[in-house]
Structure 1
Amino acid sequence: MHIGILGPVEAHSPDGKIAVGGPRPRTLLALLAIRAGEIVPLGRLVDELYGSEPPSDAANALQGQVSRLRRALGDASLIEFHPAGYLLALPASQVDAHRFVALATDGRQALEQGDPQAAESLLSEALRLWRGPALADVALADHTTRLEQQRSAAAGSLVAARIRLGKADVAEIGDLVRQNPLDERLRGYLMQALNQQGRQAEALQAFEDARALLADELGTDPSPELRAVHLQVLRGQTHRELPAQLTSFVGRQEELTRIASLSARLITLTGPGGAGKTRLALQAAGPGAIFVDLAPAKDVAAATLQALGLKETVLEPEDRLTLALRERDTLLVLDNCEHLIVQAAQLAQHLLSTCPSVRILATSREALGITGETLCPVPPLDPEQSVALFADRARLVNPAFVRDRHTIDICRELDGLPLAIELAAARTRTLTTEEIAARLNDRFRLLTKGNRAAAPRHQTLRAVVEWSWDLLTEDERDLAACLATFSGGASLEAVEEVCRHDIGTLEALVDKSLVEAADGRYRMLETIREFCSEHKRVDALHATYFQELARRADPELRRRDQVRWFTRLTAEHANLMQALEWTTSFAPEQALRLVSDLAWYWYLKGSRTEVRGAARRLLDRVPEQSTEEYTVLLALAEPEHVQEKLLALCGPIKQPFVLIAWAMLSGPPDPSEPRTALQDEVENSEDPWIQGLIGFSNAYTTWAASGDRAVAIEQSREALRRFQDLGERWGSAQVLDVLATMTEDPAEALALTDQALQAVAELGAVEELAELRGRRADRLLDIDQDQAERDYLQALEMAAQAGLAATRALANAGLAKIAQRRGDPARAEELLLAAQQELGFGWMHTAAKQQVDEALSELWRSREV
């Protein structure tokens, strides 16, 4: 059921229009509809229906009218009786007047919030509900007047929206003025509409007409608001409103807060193409700002004149703008300044110096570079905002879209670049997120279907990047293409050595938002990097540079500056892996040397699992050799086959990782076995790091073989001194751990373990951190069981991240002991069986398996008892 009162009173059921009856049933229906869903008091209904001469039995007469109306409507339940009155049991939305008020209110709010496009849509829909004068066939004058006033206000707001959109109808506004001749707001709208159409003389005459009428009718002068419109017309001013946005705004709260907090008169939003600078500027600007789109422009001043609705005169455009803006408090949005950067800078400086109340919000891929400018970088969206944006845009084309793990992968792969995310989301209409993610290695072909109405440079991902590329100088393009070879960003030294360009060219790329600079490194967003790498690659130079870096860094990782060098290699990890991949394909012998130089770094970093695949690929490309380098490669690629190669080496040892591999894969030497040439070579080495390594190894084996704790501790302290003299943290931690094992004082053991943890924490050695955390838990087991449990759990997590099966097994064994002590043998057995499943090849696994098996046997014996 729908009730209409915006015109003749009508009722419509699903079967069609209902014959309501004569004047009184129609009046009664109108009165109930005006307050649909509310109880209308009996006295008010009687007064409205019968006026000053009600019938003698007014209550019965009203009840009779209600009965007639119920029969006409065909559903008695629609009109409910209550002791206080009657109620029309319909939602307000099913009465046209209520629907009109809701739409008109939303339209006015949209206008106040700077969205004239939405305002026009809502207000137009509201006014289309009117079929003629309100309550046209019933005598309810007060209600009619109120509704007509609401209609007039909505019509005025609609005119305001259309003026902001630059499409007001002069004839329509003229009719409204004739109906409401004393409404100054409508007079102002008429003047603005005439001015927009270039009819300045008529706009000025409209003001004179209004002034004369107000003087004659009311004896007053025009209001300040109408005089301000008159002044605007005299100056020839009419500005372009901010373009309405067709989609919701997602994220960027931090940037919006920063912009709002800035007091600078010139704020420039900088960032790469597709980062959402324009959208952010529109969101930050608010209603009343003047929007200047420079993307299609060739002259900044001329484009600004057009945005203001000003015609060019004999004055220079800059002077014309000064005259127009000198006394105005306004915000000018200069959008897309990058291709006219010099002109934009010159005009901004001119206007800021001549128009004291003007503020400028610019968007550009590089700064304007003038005094007083405050930069507000627009970075890619963070992961949470990226996924929210993807989901929002995907649901526009696929309402059933549900985010999944591939959504996160897509947003990460697209660097959180809003335009790229929106283009990818548009593909969810025909592709699954898994299919989109799999195709992002060819993103420029995939992300080609954007908004047809957008500027060409924003319709495809390629066009976005090409726009920036075309603005570069020849040197800048060459450097951008070279820099795209780096998969993990680059240091300044690497850029200069590999790309062979000076810092000025690099700074230009940073300024133009093609390259990000942070923490002494320079990197490209992956989308920009992929585009630039199509133009030139310098893989050979790149590989040579990182080979030399690895060669220099390797010995430093065993000296006092090891933390600095480890940090440097960690920063270059992706580039080092890239160099290994390229040399494996094109220069396998170089790759073999690179693997040897990086082996110790990979060990400290805990990357052996990560590099195993690359090592196996190289193993297939080099002939078998009896060299140290080949042995290192074999230890990384196929550790179960390296024992024979290790025994065949005779020294001198150039890469100490060989000794670590030997220790990890062979375990402590058996004193009863004959000595090898390699053992003799190592024992006689003059390398202080190797001496320290052998010293603590001998201390451990001495203690294990003879049980002479005092001698073993003395040897260990000597080894510790050697490592500490070198400033070498890994070796120091190993000796501290051995000393903690040897001491009989639990408190001292814990303190020594904490020192060892601190040493490897400085270095960031993931594997040692996991192992030492597990041993700290072992040493806490009889001191603080709860803290021991926390340490075991932490060791378990760290070992899982590093891929250390033996360490995980030992941590589970420790947790099993705690479970057993707490009276939960079932949980203990579950943990020990899980630990057994972790273990595989190598002496460390064999040693761990022995511990686990013993613990399991003890658990089963205790159950039998």
Structure 2
Amino acid sequence: MGPVRAWRDDEEIELGPRQQRAVLAALLLNNGIRLSNDQLIGMVWDDPTPSAVMALRTYVYKIRKTLPELNLKSRDGGYTVRAEIVDDCRGEPLEGLRSAYFDAQRVRLGDYRLKAREDCLERELDVLELQKHVAAFPLRERPRALLMRALYLEGRQGEALDHFHQARALLNEELGLDPGPELREVHAQILNGDLAPPRRPEQLLPDLIDFTGRAEEIAQALRTLPGTVGITGMRGSGKTVLATRIGHLVRGRFPDGQIFVRGGDVANQLLRAVGVENPVGDKAALWREKARGKRFLVVVDDVQDAAAVRDLATPGSAMILTSVRRLHELPGVTWLKIAGLTEREAREFFRKTFGPVRADAEPEQAGVLVERLSRLPGAIRVIGGKLSSRPNWTIEMALLQMQRESTLDGVIPSDCAAMLAPLIAAEEQLSEPERRVLMCFARQDAEVIDSHKAADMSGADPGEIELVLESLAAVHLIEPLVLGRYRLPQFVRLYFGRRTAALTA
């Protein structure tokens, strides 16, 4: 990718003679793949002599000393490196390296570079840049089709049609061919007047100005993208808000647009976002075709079924998934598990929603309140908003009301319902044995659930109760500690304790 060069900070590193640079280039071109001695020698030398083995070992030794950052490893008579490779598009790919292997790689990299350049031109549709590219590569049909499209969209229909006739004459004269399907399609669209600007979806939800915390999770997501990131946690933990924040941080890396989908037929919604109405057939395959060569950021919120997103990831684009359950069957996903905020973050978020002066006036009560809500941002936002709308209320009053409401019958006050909505939705998905276990331990205000005690209390077989507890852990209503023991979060205890009181009233 241009001359093989390296820098440490701003200082260029001397990489040694041509054959040493060739060994380094061969390793980098097979990034992460183990190459045997024979494979490396065949790549670097067309007619190797017996001394090639010793020369290879010498070059590897010198590369290790020069670039310890490469982590060049020896294993089973071969070598492996892992590195991030950058093409600065300057000069001929692999300039100065000569062998049959590098000649073939030069062609491959040149084609890749051309395609990447044309992908950029398709996003920008800059007439002047397209004219330069067409002049440099007159027989490539894709840039000519892009130039016709750009001219038409600028109102220069006659020039666009002239370019089609020029391309047809040149292709016939040079290659004996007629224009291909892409050129013919753009020509027909211009004649029919139905050539529209490319659709660039901008569907991300608004970022929240009071977003707080999650620095570690955000850093891990930024390291993973454009790989697929999954965010899992109980309802109300802020999965959607976190996915949105990450999306806004990286949106500039995905110039073809950002698509937000909430459950349902994901492939169909993705296709509609890029202008395909009423798709038929294999919609996942059609989406991959439409996304090929593009860089989209796709956020799929509240994934219920792994099959809905399994075949939708495409090279260059990124997906951020949110799901209550961690979808283990999806390959290649980096999962981030979130729960409540840290104590410091929860207090800071409460100060933002309630107001710093009133929150700081009752620091001890504020701490009790956010802990009672298991530091969940959704619940903190609701209670903070409620208190901020009641200027004569104190945090102590809110705690007393929460305590009284926990003994009421089945009626849930409207402002309390908003706070409990995630747990109300979660309860609707529970089986009767799952609900019974939660209510039993919540009634005792138990922080720790022991599987043996749970089996004794329910009369169920220990193996069956373990399945129930694992199912509850999968939706984050309890947290696994060690084998057979689980933690019952305080907010969950509060809710199911209230439900128990209502049912026995």
TM bracket (short chain): 0.5 to 0.7
Q: Which amino acid aligns with 1:440?
A: M
Q: Counterpart in 2 of 1:525?
A: 489
Match of 1:494 among 429, 453, 464: 453
Kindly indicate whether residue 325 of structure 2 is the aligned counterpart of residue 359 of structure 1: no
Q: Counterpart in 2 of 1:303?
A: 269
Displacement of 1:381 = 0.7
Contact kept? 1:420, 1:461, Cα under 8 Å: yes
1:440-839 correspondence to structure 2 within 5 Å: 440-442=402-404, 448-449=414-415, 460-486=418-444, 487-499=446-458, 500=460, 501-520=464-483, 521-536=485-500
Give me the whole-angstrom Cα distance separating, in 1, the residues matched to 2:405 and 2:211.
24
Q: Deviation string for 1:264-285 (max 9, x for gaps)?
A: 8332111111111111111112
Kindly indicate whether residue 223 of structure 2 is the aligned counterpart of residue 265 of structure 1: no
Q: Counterpart in 2 of 1:633?
A: none
Cα gap change, 1:433 to 1:372, in 2 (>3 Å): same
Contact kept? 1:336, 1:364, Cα under 8 Å: yes
Q: Counterpart in 2 of 1:209?
A: 155
Contact kept? 2:268, 2:279, Cα under 8 Å: no
SS of the residue 1:481 aligns to = helix
Cα gap change, 1:525 to 1:388, in 2 (>3 Å): same
Contact kept? 1:269, 1:363, Cα under 8 Å: yes
Cα gap change, 1:496 to 1:262, in 2 (>3 Å): farther
Q: Counterpart in 2 of 1:392?
A: 352
Contact kept? 2:202, 2:259, Cα under 8 Å: yes
Q: CA RMSD in A?
A: 4.1
Displacement of 1:418 = 0.5
Q: Counterpart in 1 of 2:383?
A: 424
Q: Counterpart in 1 of 2:209?
A: 247
SS of the residue 1:490 aligns to = strand
Match of 2:218 among 252, 256, 271: 256
Cα gap change, 1:214 to 1:314, in 2 (>3 Å): closer
Q: Which amino acid aligns with 1:390?
A: F
Cα gap change, 1:247 to 1:441, in 2 (>3 Å): farther
Contact kept? 1:266, 1:372, Cα under 8 Å: yes
Give me the whole-angstrom Cα distance separating, in 1, the residues matched to 2:280 and 2:424.
38
Match of 2:258 among 290, 308, 311: 290
Q: Counterpart in 2 of 1:97?
A: none
Give me the whole-angstrom Cα distance separating, in 1, the residues matched to 2:288 and 2:376.
38
Contact kept? 1:334, 1:361, Cα under 8 Å: yes
Give me the whole-angstrom Cα distance separating, in 2, the residues matched to 1:531 and 1:472.
14
Q: Counterpart in 2 of 1:313?
A: 279
Give me the whole-angstrom Cα distance separating, in 1, the residues matched to 2:435 and 2:274.
37
Contact kept? 2:212, 2:348, Cα under 8 Å: yes
Give me the whole-angstrom Cα distance separating, in 2, the residues matched to 1:422 and 1:240.
27
SS of the residue 1:368 aligns to = coil
Q: Which amino acid aligns with 2:260?
A: V
Displacement of 1:524 = 2.7
Q: Which amino acid aligns with 2:295?
A: D
Cα gap change, 1:308 to 1:508, in 2 (>3 Å): farther
Cα gap change, 1:443 to 1:410, in 2 (>3 Å): farther
After TM superposition, the runs of 4+ consecutive aligned structure 1 residues lying more than 6 A away are 181-184, 213-216, 233-236, 443-447
Give me the whole-angstrom Cα distance separating, in 2, the residues matched to 1:503 and 1:235.
57
Cα gap change, 1:480 to 1:311, in 2 (>3 Å): farther
SS of the residue 1:292 aligns to = strand
Contact kept? 1:270, 1:377, Cα under 8 Å: yes
Displacement of 1:423 = 1.0
Query: Between Structure 1 and Structure 2, whose CA radius of gyration is higher?
Result: 1
Q: Which amino acid aligns with 2:258?
A: I
Q: Counterpart in 2 of 1:636?
A: none
Cα gap change, 1:377 to 1:183, in 2 (>3 Å): same
Q: Which amino acid aligns with 1:333?
A: V
Cα gap change, 1:448 to 1:497, in 2 (>3 Å): same
Contact kept? 1:476, 1:505, Cα under 8 Å: yes
Q: Which amino acid aligns with 2:344?
A: E
User: How many matched pairs?
Assistant: 312
Q: Deviation string for 1:222-269 (max 9, x for gaps)?
A: xxxxx9xx99x8797442421113432111112212222336833211
Q: Which amino acid aligns with 2:465?
A: D
Contact kept? 1:204, 1:234, Cα under 8 Å: no
Q: Counterpart in 2 of 1:376?
A: 336
Displacement of 1:436 = 1.5
Instruction: List alignment gaps of at least 5 residues for structure 1.
Output: 1-180, 185-202, 222-226, 451-458, 538-865
Displacement of 1:317 = 2.6
Percentage identity across paired residues of the two chains:
20
Give me the whole-angstrom Cα distance separating, in 2, the residues matched to 1:379 and 1:267.
17
Cα gap change, 1:206 to 1:522, in 2 (>3 Å): farther
Cα gap change, 1:213 to 1:479, in 2 (>3 Å): farther
SS of the residue 2:230 aligns to = strand
Displacement of 1:425 = 0.9
SS of the residue 2:476 aligns to = coil
Contact kept? 1:265, 1:360, Cα under 8 Å: yes
Cα gap change, 1:238 to 1:527, in 2 (>3 Å): same
Contact kept? 2:259, 2:296, Cα under 8 Å: no
Q: Which amino acid aligns with 2:204?
A: L
Q: Counterpart in 2 of 1:414?
A: 373
Cα gap change, 1:531 to 1:402, in 2 (>3 Å): closer
Q: Counterpart in 1 of 2:57?
A: none
Q: Counterpart in 1 of 2:308?
A: 347
Cα gap change, 1:215 to 1:323, in 2 (>3 Å): closer
Q: Which amino acid aligns with 1:320?
A: L
Q: Deviation string for 1:648-693 (max 9, x for gaps)?
A: xxxxxxxxxxxxxxxxxxxxxxxxxxxxxxxxxxxxxxxxxxxxxx
Q: Deviation string for 1:592-635 (max 9, x for gaps)?
A: xxxxxxxxxxxxxxxxxxxxxxxxxxxxxxxxxxxxxxxxxxxx
Kindly indicate whether residue 271 of structure 2 is the aligned counterpart of residue 325 of structure 1: no
Which structure has more relative contact order (CA 8 Å, sep 6+)? It is 2
Cα gap change, 1:206 to 1:509, in 2 (>3 Å): farther
Greater per-residue helix proportion: 1
Cα gap change, 1:182 to 1:389, in 2 (>3 Å): same
Give me the whole-angstrom Cα distance separating, in 2, the residues matched to 1:307 and 1:299.
13
Give me the whole-angstrom Cα distance separating, in 2, the residues matched to 1:303 and 1:244.
19
Cα gap change, 1:255 to 1:470, in 2 (>3 Å): same
Give me the whole-angstrom Cα distance separating, in 1, the residues matched to 2:129 and 2:210.
36
Contact kept? 1:293, 1:303, Cα under 8 Å: yes
Contact kept? 2:298, 2:319, Cα under 8 Å: yes
Question: Structure 2 length as normaliser, TM-score?
Answer: 0.53
Displacement of 1:401 = 5.7
Cα gap change, 1:483 to 1:210, in 2 (>3 Å): farther
Q: Deviation string for 1:672-719 (max 9, x for gaps)?
A: xxxxxxxxxxxxxxxxxxxxxxxxxxxxxxxxxxxxxxxxxxxxxxxx
